[in-house]
Structure 1
Amino acid sequence: MDILQIHACFLTCSSVSIDTRKIGANSMFVALKGANFDANSFASEALEKGASYVLIDNKDYYVDSRTIFVDDTLSTLQELAKFHRNYLGLPIIALTGSNGKTTTKELFQVVLSKKYRTKATLGNLNNHIGVPLTLLSFTKETEIGIVEMGANHQKEIAFLCDIAQPDYGYVTNFGKAHLEGFGGVEGVIKGKSEMYDFLHSSHRKVFVNIDDPLQYSKTKNMETITFSTSDKNCFVFIDTIEANPYVKIVVEGKEILSNLIGFYNATNICSAITVGLYFNVPIDDIKTAIEQYQPDNNRSQIIYKNGNQIVLDAYNANPSSMDVAIQNFIQLRHSKKIAILGDMFELGDESFQEHYNIVQKLKNDDNFTCFLIGNEFYKVKVECQHLHFFQTFEDFTVFLRTQTIKDTLILVKGSRGMALERSLDIL
């Protein structure tokens, strides 16, 4: 069966599923292989649970005429997604970057949804499987699609762009994320710039923060839609940005007070304003959308508990995002402050140096107490009155239970694997 025939079968289905535990009626089940499983073995179960078709690449699990056999289910899923994207022909905005991708994607969606029927990547399904599933969730009713693209090695963004064929792109920033896979900062820049390469070669448009020297230099020869706080010749000029702690932006005479904290989120908001204005969403609707947006999933949330104000930013961390989170925390005005910071993962050979750099910065500011948790921070342990090191989260837990912390501003940040949101159970 060729891709045109498979797509015809897909169009009769309500959705695509790769997990029989979440399978819906009249869905197409795609049997993918993992390191420790082979979903081909669930083909029969998927049909019993209501799937209309199952896509397999192991003939041993053929069931009946509802079974579609292909050479490789993953590559077929990707090919099907690209075919479906071209079949729909809707405008697609893609975004990538080291930090802020998911928040920016959500802001794009709430802003554009004020005028258009939009669909966007769910959660952080932004890899070689998630992007195809996102594209296959778009329908004839979808007016604008928003696709988040993540990567931890070079050539991945290029591959995802080839599948999604975006008409517009945005790179949030170039930071110290996934250094191990990319082979250092220059590798990160090269990898994220693959989106620019695709858009440039196919004569498509890119949203650009021209206050970012790297974004500006890499897009000078492209068709750009720009925003800035300093250059009034750009497409969207941002008059004012404040963040104490919530980001407030003034643009086109409108004051927008968000529920996001930190100057690092200001750029995310500015990009969403720019996207909205480019697609002719009225500024009053943009203001409403941004002011109504509430962060969740441990991303830049402020939580009040036991008299404490907790800045929960524990979804993930890398040297760049950790640095800006600390700088923002330093600027926040409060009589009592504590930072709870966890290890940063996927840094490879740079891990020791990057954790050391963070500790050195913290040493120079004794306005708040800092608890540093994990093996990597413990390796760069120093004797300093306001810095406290714990090799494991369990060690920290034992200590924390002996403390009484009240009326305090608390920053919680670390890589996803540290799961530092567990601290809230004790605070």
Structure 2
Amino acid sequence: MEIEQLYNLYSQSFLIDTDTRKIRKGSIFFALKGENFNGNLFADEAIAKGASYAVIDEIIETDNTNIIKVKNGLETLQKLANYHRRKLEIPIISLTGSNGKTTTKELINAVLSTKYNTVATQGNLNNHIGVPLTILSMTPKTDIGVVEMGANHMGEIKFLCNIAEPNYGYITNFGKAHLEGFGSFENIIKGKSELYNFIKKENGIVFVNSDDKLQNQQSEGIKKISYNQKVIALEEVNPYVKVTFKNITISSNLIGKYNFTNIAAAITIGDYFKVEPLDIKTAIENYIPTNNRSQIVLKNSNKIILDAYNANPSSMKEALENFNLLKSENKIAILGDMFELGKESLKEHQKIALLATSFNFNKVYLIGKAFSTVTVKNAFQFESFEAFKKSQNYININNTSILIKGSRGMALERILDLL
């Protein structure tokens, strides 16, 4: 079946599903495949549950006439998304970066949604499947799309741009994330800058933090809207970020100086799209982080900064520096391994261990196989969460500020149950 024919079927509902547990009536089910699943086996079930059609790429035994066979289901999904994007003819803002993508995307969405019918990436579905699904969740009623793009190898951002065809772009920062896949920090810069390259080619516009030298360098020769601390001022971080913009004070629910640029980007983009300053203020002040991203958790007498969604050397350094500035008599840092660092793993974990113990924290706990191999004084090291739990070092922690940060695979939010 040609993409145009498939699009005519899709446009009857503008609904795409890939999970038979969440089928919506009238949708088109795409039978995607992975290491541990094969959606082709559930095509009949999807239609029985209400899908109008099912797209498969393997021959299955069925009498259902609403099953559509294609050569490659994922490639067809991506082509359909690109075809739809061209039909939409709306502004699409794509963002990538080493840290803060999802938080920034949520803030941009919150701000723009005060004036426009905005559709944004759900959660962090920012890969070769998530991006086309985001595009296909937009309808003719959508005014603006906000598409988050993630990558751990060269060429991935370029590939995602060719699907979403953004005409606006923003890179949060260039940091040491996914070193294993990119191979070097220089490649990270090149890989993330693939967004800039696409926007430049399409004569689009990028939003740039002009206080960031790398952003300035990489965005040379592109139409840009810049912001800096002269335009949007950082007032305080104790622990929540407070900024001023056009003589309006915005008190966020986000902690850490590192969230200032995330907030500033959302303000800048909202202002560009003519959202009223007071509506920008309301949107940002009403945004509350979830999913273990820089959350403040009050438990018994302790104040816990839970940042256990992800970690890399750049974000870990910023979190520790911010925690050091926090006004509190008693501080404990509990850090988990940083994943996907490849051959740089030992060196980067060593740097973070030395940084953490250089501050005047009461205690530093390092958890994970990588952290257990570093050489450091004045820190408690554990090879696993289970070893930390067994040690019972967490008993009798009271009236203390606690930073919990590690990569998603460490699942350090489990520590909350111990405190």
How does the TM-score come out when normalised to structure 1? 0.96
Q: 1:210-289 counterparts in 2 under 5 A? A: 210-230=210-230, 237-289=231-283
Give CA-to-partner distance per residue, 1:94-125, whole Å, 9 cap, x none.
00000000000000001001111101000000
Partner of 1:355: 349
Deviation at 1:401, TM superposition (A): 6.3
Deviation at 1:36, TM superposition (A): 2.5
Shift in CA distance, 118/402, structure 1 to aligned 2, threshold 3 Å? closer
Partner of 2:31: 31
Q: Which amino acid aligns with 2:390?
A: V
Deviation at 1:363, TM superposition (A): 2.7
Q: 1:163-178 counterparts in 2 under 5 A? A: 163-178=163-178
Partner of 1:397: 389
1:15 maps to 2:15: yes
Q: Give the whole-Å Cα distance in 1 for the aligned partners of 2:259 and 2:166.
A: 24
- 5+ residue gaps, structure 1, are 231-236
Q: Give the whole-Å Cα distance in 1 for the aligned partners of 2:279 and 2:270.
A: 9
Q: 2:311 aligns with which of 303, 307, 317?
A: 317
Partner of 1:426: 418
Q: Give the whole-Å Cα distance in 1 for the aligned partners of 2:318 and 2:233.
A: 22
SS in 2 for 1:239: strand
Q: Give the whole-Å Cα distance in 1 for the aligned partners of 2:349 and 2:56.
A: 45
Shift in CA distance, 214/61, structure 1 to aligned 2, threshold 3 Å? farther
Q: Which amino acid aligns with 2:134?
A: T
1:302 maps to 2:330: no
Deviation at 1:313, TM superposition (A): 0.6
Q: Which amino acid aligns with 2:140?
A: K
1:157 maps to 2:154: no
Q: Which amino acid aligns with 2:33?
A: K
Shift in CA distance, 67/219, structure 1 to aligned 2, threshold 3 Å? same
Partner of 1:189: 189
Q: Give the whole-Å Cα distance in 1 for the aligned partners of 2:197 and 2:383.
A: 43
Partner of 2:68: 68
Q: Which amino acid aligns with 1:423?
A: I
Residue pair 1:14, 1:25 contacting (<8 A) in 2 also: no
SS in 2 for 1:111: helix
Query: Which stretch of the first structure deviates more once superposed, 157-166 or 42-51?
Result: 42-51
Q: Which amino acid aligns with 1:272?
A: A
Q: Which amino acid aligns with 2:289?
A: P
Q: Give the whole-Å Cα distance in 2 for the aligned partners of 1:37 and 1:61.
A: 18
Q: 1:412 aligns with which of 387, 400, 404?
A: 404
How many residues matched? 419
SS in 2 for 1:161: helix
Q: Which amino acid aligns with 1:364?
A: S
Deviation at 1:213, TM superposition (A): 0.2
Q: Give the whole-Å Cα distance in 2 for the aligned partners of 1:331 and 1:368.
A: 14
Q: Give the whole-Å Cα distance in 2 for the aligned partners of 1:71 and 1:32.
A: 12
Give CA-to-partner distance per residue, 1:386-420, whole Å, 9 cap, x none.
x1101110111122366211111010100000000
User: Could you list the runs of 4 or more consecutive aligned residues of structure 1 that deviate by over 4 angstroms after TM superposition?
Assistant: none
Q: Give the whole-Å Cα distance in 2 for the aligned partners of 1:61 and 1:321.
A: 50
SS in 1 for 2:60: helix
Q: Give the whole-Å Cα distance in 2 for the aligned partners of 1:65 and 1:191.
A: 44
Partner of 1:234: none
Deviation at 1:24, TM superposition (A): 1.6
Query: Which stretch of the first structure deviates more once superposed, 61-70 or 23-32?
Result: 61-70
Residue pair 2:111, 2:267 contacting (<8 A) in 1 also: yes
Partner of 2:97: 97
SS in 2 for 1:328: helix
Query: Which stretch of the first structure deviates more once superposed, 350-359 or 7-16?
Result: 7-16
Give CA-to-partner distance per residue, 1:142-184, whole Å, 9 cap, x none.
1000000000101000000000000100000000000000111
Q: Which amino acid aligns with 1:282?
A: E
Q: Which amino acid aligns with 1:188?
A: I
SS in 1 for 2:116: coil
Identity of aligned residues (%): 55
Q: Give the whole-Å Cα distance in 1 for the aligned partners of 2:305 and 2:351.
A: 22
Partner of 1:329: 323
Q: Which amino acid aligns with 1:252?
A: K
Q: Give the whole-Å Cα distance in 2 for the aligned partners of 1:400 and 1:412.
A: 16
Residue pair 1:40, 1:61 contacting (<8 A) in 2 also: no
Partner of 1:180: 180
Q: Which amino acid aligns with 1:363?
A: T
Deviation at 1:240, TM superposition (A): 3.5
Q: 1:89-128 counterparts in 2 under 5 A? A: 89-128=89-128
Q: Which amino acid aligns with 2:9?
A: C
Q: Give the whole-Å Cα distance in 1 for the aligned partners of 2:203 and 2:90.
A: 17
Partner of 2:87: 87
Give CA-to-partner distance per residue, 1:322-348, whole Å, 9 cap, x none.
000000000001011111100000000
Q: Give the whole-Å Cα distance in 1 for the aligned partners of 2:71 and 2:63.
A: 17
Shift in CA distance, 84/191, structure 1 to aligned 2, threshold 3 Å? same
SS in 2 for 1:358: helix
Deviation at 1:62, TM superposition (A): 4.8
SS in 2 for 1:297: coil
Query: Which stretch of the first structure deviates more once superposed, 19-28 or 48-57?
Result: 19-28
- 5+ residue gaps, structure 2, are none
Q: Which amino acid aligns with 1:84?
A: H
Q: Give the whole-Å Cα distance in 1 for the aligned partners of 2:106 and 2:7.
A: 29
